[in-house]
Amino acid sequence: MERDELAAKGYDTKTGGLFMTVENIPRIEEEIAKSERGESMFTRATIRRYKKKLVELKQQAKETESIPESAKNLDLHFS
């Protein structure tokens, strides 16, 4: 696969892992589920790291949801 295709699927081509971002939560969850079925290419240690990070990312997503939409759209520049 090409780098762009891998990145579109949630893979960080620099580290060989998954992007640890709020936007990539579904892909991280998918990989954890694959691991539980014995189908993941990642090690158990990596999956443990992903599970810990997933908790943090879900908290970030929850916090972002509580921010009013008007505040999210502000484009503030400070000098």
Tokens of 75: 């484009």
Structural domain range at position 15: 3-65
Q: Is it the case that residue 59 has pLDDT exceeding 90? A: yes
Q: Coil, strand, or helix at residue 13?
A: coil
Q: 77's torsion region: left (phi>0), alpha (psi -120 to 50) or beta?
A: beta
Work out the average pLDDT over 28-38.
96
Q: Supply the DSSP string of 27-75, one letter for each residue.
A: HHHHHHHHHHTT--SS-HHHHHHHHHHHHHHHHHHHHHHTS-HHHHT--
| Within a domain: 14 | yes
Number of domains in the chain: 1
| Within a domain: 75 | no
| Within a domain: 37 | yes
Q: Is it the case that residue 30 has pLDDT exceeding 90? A: yes
Predicted pLDDT of residue 71:
62
Q: Are 49 and 31 in contact (CB under 8 A)?
A: no
Q: Is it the case that residue 79 has pLDDT exceeding 60? A: no
Predicted pLDDT of residue 51:
97
